[in-house]
Amino acid sequence: MSELAIELQNVGKMYKLYRRPIDKVLDAFGINRWLVWRKDYYQGFWALRHLDLQIPQGERLGIIGRNGAGKSTLLKVITGNIVPTEGIVQVNGRMQALLELGTGFHPEFTGLQNIRASLAYQGLSPTQIHEKEEDIIDFAELEEFIDQPVKTYSAGMYARLAFSTATVIEPEVLIIDEVLGAGDAYFAGKCVERMKKLTEDAGATVLFVSHDLGSMQRLCNRVMWLDRGCIVQQGDPLGVMKAYTAMVRKEEALRLRARDLKVLKQQAVLLDRHEDIYDKLLFHFVSANGMAPQECARVFRLRLLVAEEEIGAINVGSPMDNSPEHLHYVMDTPRYMDWGPPQHGNAGTYREYGDFKGKYQHAPFEFAVPKALGAQVRQRGLRLEVEAEVVGDKIALEVYNRHTYVHLGCLPAGTRRVTIFQVPVDVLGSVTHDELCALDALPTPDVRTVAVTPSMPPTAQEVISEYGSGEAKITAVRMFDALDQESRVFEIGQPLKVVFEFEAYQILHNPVFVLCVYLTDGQCFTQWVATSEQLGQPEVRGKGQVIFTVENLVMGKASYIASAAIFKYLMHDSHEAESYHVLDRCIHFQIIQGDVDVIERGLCLQPFEVSLEDGQ
């Protein structure tokens, strides 16, 4: 048998978005292919494309990504529920898949009847089914409900029954898509342990999709981040998840900042509408002679930036590059726009702008700029980078400004290169007339070009391990042992001192200092919280130190990771409070056994003392 449990080669899945219901009916009966004049009756939407993936036997792969990233489509392609439009999918081994609630069980049958039907369908004999029944019922903990119809079950009860039945026969490939999110934390923990046992004892391969990153870190030995149908990053679970959460955190922070601005203006209605949070910028490519270009221009990548900070990017020709559900996308409506279909070559993905018989003879695309960045945009400027290859006709770039398009410049003819266009800030709808009058001058359109070779890889983004609003910063975290020597290895039962060195750039009112300790599998072990009331100092400014002191270390023998943070207020629920500065899981240390009995790992309330001192 192959050492690979799952292998995908150049896999892609395209959905047809029909303009009219009748077009879908005609396509279903194969009539459209005989009507040669009807070429543009649908718009192609690629949920996945050019995806290569190899999963060895026994690996536990976690898949993360925002809603609409293509995770469920990928799993359905692997399980055979949908047929890929292109590429090869190879699965080696007996497979069990839990993709969504409501499938696989008959709602009128009882839980026990559904168990027997499911196991019979998988080829088990009556004797074998009887042997497995008790196992399933015991694990699902549904004894008093097992003789009730499944339609009366809650989502959590259904998830318990489905998971227990799917894993009792030890599948060689187990695929789970968000189903466990319907259950409680206790049962989710049981499921994680069973999936671990399957891989360790039976060599099963697990594909696990979940938004519960804690469970994913405890279970998976590799995590893959999927976005817009492409693999963004894969590898060590902690590193990938930190990069992913940094991206999510950045987007959420921009949304909350926009929401706060509206609250300050007493506009609390419909705070989360897209138009209340973002300004849309509409660009388009047009031929300088006003007609569709006779020679196609290839467009590879579009980036919008404030100074050196990227607001958004469009990898033209990649999956979902034309999805209006995303903040930045190309508009490729057939018969109206002159974007060509997405293509892929040695140079990467791209689309062509050419004479594709579009009514408006242009190639438009849209970016969304968070309104919370308005002041930063006006201060530092806005620019668009276009990576393209132009042959023949001169191609112009324009941006829509209220009732007309403003010319920004032209793409130079020649080999593939990056052209940089300065975008006037008055195209942002959030800039008022008074604000414009206050500006010394609007930036004039400016164009620069940089040569690019097809082999140039995209710039790799570093994993962000710190974040916060910036009014204060933790400059160092130092740990000291029983001999008051700086160390990262400590004995059970001995003293431990942790020193936060920080600098506050303005007065901090009632700050909260937190040290959060995690096990290496991602589970929060303990938190040390110091409020300004404990410290006896409601206002803090300048340099200082917060010192956490433990006289008798009761944490168990293990390796740990800690986060250090300064929050703006005390957390009262499961949501993280706003922060001045957070060092996210950057502090590694180890507890070893001394001359005392071994203490098992587990959640604990570690006693500590804390004090505040002025900086040196």
| DSSP string covering 475-490 | EEEEEE-TTS-B-SEE
Angle at which helix 126-140 crosses helix 155-167, to 10 degrees, equals 140
Residue 163 contacts residue 99 (beta carbons within 8 Å)? no
From its phi and psi, is residue 326 left (phi > 0), alpha (psi between -120 and 50) or beta?
beta
Strand-pairing partners, residue 390, are 414
Helices (H), strands (E): how many in the chain? 12, 31
> What is the distance between the alpha carbons of residues 117 and 197, in angstroms, rounded to a whole number?
25
**Phi then psi dihedrals of residue 104, to 5 deg:** 100, -30
By DSSP bridging, strand 42-56 and strand 4-18 are antiparallel
Give the range among 102-106, 182-186, 393-397, 415-419 with minimum mean pLDDT.
182-186
From its phi and psi, is residue 46 left (phi > 0), alpha (psi between -120 and 50) or beta?
beta
> What is the distance between the alpha carbons of residues 401 and 404, in angstroms, rounded to a whole number?
6
Query: Mean pLDDT across the chain, nearest whole number?
Result: 81
For residues 502 and 249, the model is more confident at 502
For residue 267, pLDDT beyond 70 = no
Structure token pair of residue 447: 């164009």
Structure token pair of residue 412: 């130079």
For residue 457, pLDDT beyond 80 = no
Q: Is 312 helix (H, G, I), strand (E, B) or coil?
A: strand
Strand-pairing partners, residue 467, are 582
What is the model's pTM?
0.73
User: In which residue are the tokens 């096990």 written?
Assistant: 519
Q: Domain residues of the chain, as ranges?
A: 279-451, 466-614
Ranked by mean pLDDT, which of 161-170, 249-258, 479-488 comes out on top? 479-488
pLDDT recorded at residue 515: 93
> What is the distance between the alpha carbons of residues 408 and 448, in angstroms, rounded to a whole number?
11
pLDDT recorded at residue 513: 94
In Å, how far are 139, 140, 161, 178, 554 from 157, measured between CA atoms? 12, 8, 6, 15, 38
Residue 352 contacts residue 316 (beta carbons within 8 Å)? no
Structure token pair of residue 337: 């726009």
Strand-pairing partners, residue 61, are 207, 222
User: In which residue are the tokens 């990548």 written?
Assistant: 301
Confidence of residue 417 (pLDDT cuts 50, 70, 90): very high
Query: How remote is the C-alpha of 308 from its chain's centroid?
Result: 22
Q: Which amino acid is at 147?
A: D
Query: How remote is the C-alpha of 413 from its chain's centroid?
Result: 37
For residue 265, pLDDT beyond 50 = no
Confidence of residue 462 (pLDDT cuts 50, 70, 90): very low
**Mean pLDDT, rounded, for 476-491:** 87
For residues 532 and 62, the model is more confident at 62
Structure token pair of residue 373: 């960045």
Cα dihedral: 298, 300, 303, 309 (round 10):
-140
User: In which residue are the tokens 């009262």 written?
Assistant: 572
Cα of first residue to Cα of last residue in the chain, in angstroms, is 66
Residue 316 contacts residue 351 (beta carbons within 8 Å)? yes
For residue 202, pLDDT beyond 70 = yes
Burial degree of 1 (CB within 10 A; 0-12, 13-18, 19+): exposed
> What is the distance between the alpha carbons of residues 362 and 290, in angstroms, rounded to a whole number?
9
For the stretch 118-154, pLDDT in tens is 888 878 888 888 888 888 888 888 888 899 998 898 8
Q: Which amino acid is at 541?
A: R
> What is the distance between the alpha carbons of residues 510 and 601, in angstroms, rounded to a whole number?
34
Give the range among 7-11, 162-166, 204-208 with minimum mean pLDDT.
162-166
For residue 443, pLDDT beyond 60 = no
For the stretch 569-613, pLDDT in tens is 886 655 567 899 999 888 888 888 765 444 555 556 667 788 888
For residue 256, pLDDT beyond 60 = no
Report percent pLDDT > 90 for the chain. 31
- Residue range 466-614 forms a domain whose CATH class is mainly beta
Residue 32 contacts residue 38 (beta carbons within 8 Å)? yes
Neighbours of 561 (CB within 10 A): 19
Cα dihedral: 311, 370, 578, 547 (round 10):
30
